[in-house]
Amino acid sequence: MRETNLRGVDLNLLVVLEALLRERHITRAATSLSMSQPAVSRALGRLRETFDDPLLVRGPAGLTLSERAEGLRQPLADLLAGLSGLVAAPDFEPADATGSLRIGCLDLEAAIYLPDLVPAIRQNAPNMQLEIYSHPDDYFALLAEGRLHLAISGLEPWAGAAQFHRRVIDHTHSEVLMGQDNALADPPMTLERYSAARHGVVSITGRGPAMMDERLARQGVHRQVALKLSSFANVSDACANSDVIFSLPHRLTRRLAARDGRLVTRPLPGALQEQRFPMYLYWHARHHNDAMSQWFRRLLLQTIDQRIDHGDTADDRP
């Protein structure tokens, strides 16, 4: 490997490089760095000379990363996180702090667990920006890259579990949401009546069968899906104005029914009722000892604990 004299390298350029690799757009990178676009363009030119590589190249959909740049993303994120921890003050004062607090979760989890987080941030850290990333993605990869501080998910990391810490924040199960005049609102809720109903499905990714379809298949039955949505925003109106029913986590069904008198919730048929499954708050080892991240975790857990009554949920992975 060719040796490089670090005294000849402007390490400030690495901060610009991280923004460029993250944003893949010069103007957006400049905005995130509070720099002018010409200054970032000049920095990109110097970075290309330093790495002897174009780093960002034009493609049909805009700028894309070169193979060298792709290889730099994770090492660079780790390096900057380490440098930040090295020079950061050991204490964190939220009232005076600036910067971004980034959490990833689907809009379902955001609706259930995050309603109290925004006012808590505004009260305790008024100069900080809260970013809730709800686009379906590999949140574990984003945590590992340092692009998220926290993530809420019911999933397990597919690899590298030792990198992550987690805390159980809730246990949930599925219930049926429907209009109050739906025939299924009157018991009994049998498997036959349930499977014969017209169902709505919220498919975030648009790929693969829903978990309920897999459970029905194990019972040797199938259901008729009459409506498929890509988010939870229109679930209430879809139920209230039709005979469509949705099977959703009970935290959400009860929240929607409490807000809309046209809706009721009912338990699933006995053959489909499952054990309660956990929801986790995840964070990466890189942020475990960071003062700002520790404060953010405590604040989020406090807001969730105030909203949800549950027992001992400690499950902090080393």
Buried (b) or exposed (e) across 142-172, using 16+ Cβ within 10 A? Answer: bbbbbbbbbbbbeeebeeeeebbbbbbbbeb
CATH number at residue 296: 3.40.190.10
pTM: 0.62
Question: Could you give the CA distance from residue 145 to residue 45 in angstroms, rounded to a whole number?
Answer: 24
The backbone torsions φ and ψ at residue 10, rounded to the nearest 5 degrees and listed phi first, read -80, 105
Could you report the per-residue pLDDT of 274-284, keeping only the tens digit for each? 778 899 999 99
Please answer whether residues 94 and 124 qualify as being in contact, where contact means their C-beta atoms are separated by less than 8 angstroms.
Answer: yes
Residue 18 counted as domain residue? yes
For residue 71 the two structure tokens come to: 């290889």
Could you report the per-residue pLDDT of 7-63, keeping only the tens digit for each? 667 778 889 999 998 888 999 989 988 899 999 999 999 999 888 999 999 877 778
Long-range contacts made by residues 61-70, C-beta under 8 angstroms, separation at least 24? 62/24, 62/25, 63/24, 63/25, 63/26, 64/24, 65/21, 65/24, 69/21
180 shares its domain with 143: no
266 shares its domain with 200: yes
The boundaries of the domain holding residue 71 are: 6-87
Instruction: Domain count for the chain, please give it.
Output: 3
210 shares its domain with 65: no
The predicted structure's pLDDT at residue 90: 62
Question: Could you give the CA distance from residue 1 to residue 135 in angstroms, rounded to a whole number?
Answer: 39
Could you report the per-residue pLDDT of 58-86, keeping only the tens digit for each? 877 778 889 998 888 888 888 887 777 66
